[in-house]
Amino acid sequence: MIERIPILDISPVIFFGGEFVPAKAVAGEEVTISATIIREGHAGLKAYAVLANSLGKEISRSVMREVWQGTDRYEGVLTPPSEGEFTFFIEATDPEHVDEVASKSASFPIRAERVRALFGSWYEFFPRSEGATKNAAGTFATAAKRLPAVADMGFDILYLPPVHPIGYSHRKGANNSLTALPSDPGVPWAIGNKDGGHDSINPELGTMADFENFVKEAKKCGLEIAMDLALQTSPDHPWVKTNPDWFSYRADGTIAYAENPPKKYQDIYPINFDKDYEGFLAEVLRIIKLWVSKGVTVFRVDNPHTKPLHFWQELLALVYKESPDVIFLAEAFTRPAMMHALGKAGFQQSYTYFTWRTSKQELTNYGYEVARDTSAFFRPNFWVNTPDILPFHLQSGIPAMFALRSVLAATLSPSWGMYAGYELYEHRAMKESGEEYVDSEKYQIRIRDWEGAAKKGVTLAPFITSLNQIRRDHPALQRLRNLIFHNTGSDSIIAYSKRDGNDLVLVVVNLDPTFAQETTVYWDLKALGIDEPTFTVTDLLDGSTFTWSAITFIRLDPSRPAGKVAHIATVNLK
């Protein structure tokens, strides 16, 4: 039944799997509530967005205002004050009878999670490479020595590839060779051998006690540990014998290995979710609880798009009920509909297409998509590279390209990440037409001379440190929905802003890593909330100050010895 004053097309409302699921927020984050509200004739109306707690008690309300006159589209802002479950609804009244509610919408859920679900800087390394020498692989003990350096760069989360025992059957060798030498360590995602499976530690890295100590040392440095959750096995995993119903079989009775045509993964068995769903669900829940008890608070889930959606929805709901602080990142480079569905199913974050968005138009379109169109259910994490992905634009090895891509990732999205070696400009590809690293760390141990690179000055680490410090100092960069792009006169320069309260940050990036580019930036002063014709900014990267206006000339030259790829400027608001 239509209400006396119809309230239509309410947002953010997420209907998924036959029910309304919570819109995403974090404690203290502003959430824009919008709706189309109409009434007959020419009489006016007043509308309010109302926030209620889990018991349905009103805790705050916001006046909704018409976005553009004559559109009947109204917006208001609600802010969940703490973590937890909330609902919101909309009231519309006759302005002449303010205390008499004419219409009230249904209530819709909002979930406010901890801030790290939205904002964080991620770093990935392989423990077996950290502290490795020509004669010995790295361990948790040697890798722990690298933790202060990661923390000093300003990262919040350290992501580890699987740390479990690695299978021997069909073990891959260097550069994905099908013939492994006795010295080849194997692919960490081929999980399981006689030493155990997903609930065990690879003895080559140390013991469970060593892992627990590693987690404690990370926390002392202010780092959370993200564990890889890869629901697959090697042919040697204990599940192959104890739970044969968890796998699919070929006509000849052998277990089917993983395939992603034309690629074949003979060293990995995928899971069949249809034969013993409840048993497998219980086992995965047990595994997650085990690692949470060891201090793990974040899970990076490998290939979640190849598993049933209802499995994730049920599993993540069970984990949230018991451990609401646990965060799940979906490693799902797949079709948008599936990526979005995983967010609706409960994943707090997801990998994104940012890695392949390079032009001004691509970045603008994708930035608006994740900041506006999908932000109610899909939180992006912008990664500049991964062990699987060496994008073509990095293969030149030009340091300025590494710098500008890190600026984009760190300022467009509140969560961003990089894989170790990025700061050393690692860029050699296995083949010209591919995006895989030669001598990939997935298949072998990589020894890096961090100290030598720092002494020679051939490292991006100081720049990364500055970026992460700027992010920590400026709340505007810790939000997603506040992204606004501004026009520029060149396709080689992109400009955008973020504002949170009195914190206003303007970013201008030269997308050309080789040559100086110059243009006029047309700042939308109304969108920025600036009333004066000119305003003073301070570049947070080098401390220089400028006077800018609605029409500002910008020149960025990355070719100089101390090349300038971007301005990240804070506005000195009066």
Q: How far apart are CA 523 and CA 24, in angstroms?
A: 30
List of residues 6+ apart from 400 with CB closer than 8 A: 513, 514, 558, 559, 563, 565
Q: How far apart are CA 239 and CA 233, in angstroms?
A: 8
Q: Could you say which DSSP state residue 135 is in?
A: S
- The size of the chain, in residues, is 574
Q: Which residue has the tokens 């992905």?
A: 389
Q: How far apart are CA 507 and CA 176, in angstroms?
A: 41
3-state class of 268 per DSSP?
coil
What residues act catalytically? 302, 331
C-alpha 307 chain-centroid distance: 20
Per-residue tokens: 357: 């968005």
CB count in 10 Å sphere of residue 421? 19
Per-residue tokens: 477: 């960069």
In angstroms, the Cα distances linking 464 to 153, 223, 413, 417 are 6, 16, 15, 11
Q: How far apart are CA 347 and CA 368, in angstroms?
A: 21
Q: How far apart are CA 141 and CA 127, in angstroms?
A: 9
Q: How far apart are CA 24 and CA 263, in angstroms?
A: 36
Residue type, 551: I
Count Cβ atoms within 10 A of the Cβ of residue 32 and give its class: 0-12 exposed, 13-18 middle, 19 or more buried: middle
3-state class of 214 per DSSP?
helix
Per-residue tokens: 310: 């209802």
Buried/exposed 285-307: b ≥16 CB within 10 Å, e otherwise: eebbeebbebbbbbbbbbbbbeb
Buried/exposed 236-252: b ≥16 CB within 10 Å, e otherwise: bbbbbeebeebbeeeee
In angstroms, the Cα distances linking 516 to 129, 520, 554, 556, 563 are 38, 14, 11, 6, 9
Pairing of strands 380-383, 415-419: parallel
Closest CA to 214 of 299, 147, 150: 147
Q: How far apart are CA 322 and CA 539, in angstroms?
A: 44
